[in-house]
Amino acid sequence: MKTYKEKLKKIYKKLEKLTLRGKSNLFEYQKYINELVDKGQYSQFKDCLNHYYKIDLDRFIDIQDVKRTTWDLILFQSNTNVQKKLSTLYLKEKVYQQGFEIFDSETNVKLGEIKEIDNFDFYDKYQYSKTLYLDNEFATRTNIKRIFLEVYKGTEFLLVDSINETRDEYLNQLERYKTAINFLKS
């Protein structure tokens, strides 16, 4: 018999799978909510959204409101759209990237460079000396692989290696990019 936490994780994985197609999967998302309601698992769905996405369903008027409104919130917080979110961040901050170099999009002035550094925490944690070949997606989603940033601004250097353990690696990575861009623009 599955524990309550395992049931929440199953719902979470299904939601993350639905986010792969983005906004176009709204109908499938609404259908999935109906399935959960029919199976008597709405409270698990509610707890899943609260736990994994920090969405409180008590704020919504009714289930139709939940179906209409929460999909965009889930998409924004899902782990699947890192490049899209990074692109949105660049547009918002009015910068663009060519190779490692970051430029101000209004003046075309080079602000600095951002380099990604892969860190496999797995080796330190389990003291493996052999090279292991892990699937990148798996390693990132399980927080084995972390991507830190080296930021160069003229002669200044910043290592962005902050980790918020309550978030997964994709959201941590976006926060690191925000920090890096703020450093370059300062």
44 and 129 together in one domain = no
- Determine phi and psi for 184, rounding to 5 degrees: -65, -35
- The pTM of this model reads 0.52
| Of residues 47, 84, 42, the one with CA closest to residue 67 | 42
Q: Which of 77, 93, 121 is the last residue of a domain?
A: 77
Over its length of 186 residues, how does the chain's per-residue pLDDT go in tens digits?
Answer: 778 889 999 999 899 888 876 677 889 999 999 999 999 999 999 999 998 888 898 888 899 999 988 988 887 777 656 777 888 889 999 999 998 999 999 999 999 999 988 765 544 444 444 444 555 555 555 555 678 899 999 999 999 988 887 777 777 888 999 999 999 999
Domain that includes residue 14, residue range: 4-77
The answer to whether 40 and 7 are in contact (CB under 8 A) is no
Q: Which of 77, 104, 131 is the last residue of a domain?
A: 77
Q: What angle do CA 152, 155, 161 make, to 5 degrees?
A: 35
141 and 127 together in one domain = yes
Residue 166 to residues 51, 60, 122: CA-CA distances in angstroms? 10, 25, 18
Alpha carbons 185 and 78: distance in angstroms, whole number: 27
How many domains does the structure of the chain reveal? 2
